[in-house]
């Protein structure tokens, strides 16, 4: 199928096509791609365009190129996606073909701390609902989540069993999360988190701190998500302006 006639760069379209074929099962982990000559002909792009797309896919760990052998689809991690796309942890797990699960550790109301008041635009004395969960992929712990929500939005507390917190918040409040501002921090061993995620002392983690805003640009959710670094791969496409 020829790729052309789109304002986006051709190599990005090639990347999208290969990713789409992986998601739909047309390309499977470990499968060898056709030769550059054959694949460029199939897609209707130059070999230079194809090489650039494959180079970027290799950087994203989606393909593996073996010199003199060929290019292969990599075994998929639990998470693989653009960091510029806002998605729930549930969506991220299910997109990769795993069954998402939840272990609820604790839900409680409490007085907001200074950082929570700042992030959620709360006044002194206003409370928050704190939800601590472990998210699993096919039963394996992959993310430790700590979510904080203004108490006045959810006076009935957290009653869901395992659905996306985005969907739960929208179902009980009518509030739809529109976007988030994220900070990403690498982490080393942490006794509590590493034990919860079954990581050894040498295993790195990734902390994603996010303030989520509704469609009227009010902060409604402040989350700390601790990812196992061996189970996640985020990427970002940077364009020169």
Q: Are residues 51 and 125 in the same domain?
A: no
Q: Are residues 57 and 106 in the same domain?
A: no
Q: What is the CATH number of the domain that holds 164?
A: 3.40.1410.10
Q: Are residues 108 and 207 in the same domain?
A: yes
pLDDT of residue 207: 94
**pTM given for the model:** 0.66
Q: What is the CATH number of the domain that holds 52?
A: 1.10.10.10
Indicate the burial class of 2 (C-beta count within 10 angstroms; 0-12, 13-18, 19 or more).
exposed
Whether residue 77 is contained in a domain is answered as no
Would the pLDDT of 237 be above 50? yes
Whether residue 241 is contained in a domain is answered as no
Which tens digit of pLDDT belongs to each residue from 199-234? 888 888 999 999 999 999 999 999 999 998 877 766
Q: How confident is the model at residue 84 (pLDDT cuts 50, 70, 90)?
A: low
Which tens digit of pLDDT belongs to each residue from 161-205? 767 889 899 999 999 999 999 898 999 999 999 999 998 888 889
Range of the domain at 157: 87-226
- Partners of 144 in the β-ladder: 134, 226
Q: Are residues 62 and 92 in the same domain?
A: no
pLDDT of residue 80: 59
Q: Are residues 65 and 91 in the same domain?
A: no
Whether residue 186 is contained in a domain is answered as yes
Which tens digit of pLDDT belongs to each residue from 127-164? 999 999 999 988 999 999 999 999 999 999 998 776 78
Which token pair is 26?
């047309």
To 5 degrees, how large is the angle CA 34–CA 83–CA 78? 60
Alpha helices for the chain (secondary structure H): 10-23, 36-43, 47-59, 89-95, 114-120, 165-173, 191-196
Please name which of 135, 134, 137, 169 lies closest in space to residue 150, comparing C-alpha atoms: 169
């Amino acid at each position: 199928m020829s790729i052309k006639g789109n304002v986006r760069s051709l190599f990005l379209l090639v990347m999208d096509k290969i990713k789409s074929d992986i998601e739909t099962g047309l390309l499977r982990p470990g499968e060898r791609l056709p030769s550059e000559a054959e694949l460029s002909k199939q897609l209707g792009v130059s070999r230079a365009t194809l090489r650039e797309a494959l180079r970027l896919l290799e950087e994203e760990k989606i393909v593996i190129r073996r010199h003199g052998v060929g290019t292969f689809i990599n075994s998929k991690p639990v998470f693989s996606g653009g960091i510029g796309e806002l998605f729930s942890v549930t969506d991220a797990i299910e997109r990769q073909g795993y069954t998402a699960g939840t272990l609820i550790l604790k839900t409680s109301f409490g007085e907001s701390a200074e950082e929570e008041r700042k992030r959620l635009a709360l006044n002194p004395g206003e409370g928050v609902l704190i939800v601590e969960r472990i998210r699993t992929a096919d039963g394996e712990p992959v993310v430790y989540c700590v979510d904080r929500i203004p108490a006045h939005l959810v006076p009935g507390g957290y009653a869901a069993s395992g659905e996306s917190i985005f969907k739960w918040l929208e179902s009980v409040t009518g509030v739809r999360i529109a976007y988030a501002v994220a900070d990403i921090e690498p982490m080393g061993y942490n006794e509590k988190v590493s034990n919860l995620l079954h990581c050894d002392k040498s295993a790195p983690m990734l902390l994603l701190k996010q303030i989520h805003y509704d469609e009227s640009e009010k902060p409604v959710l402040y989350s700390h998500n601790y990812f196992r670094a061996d189970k996640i791969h985020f990427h970002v496409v940077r364009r020169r302006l």
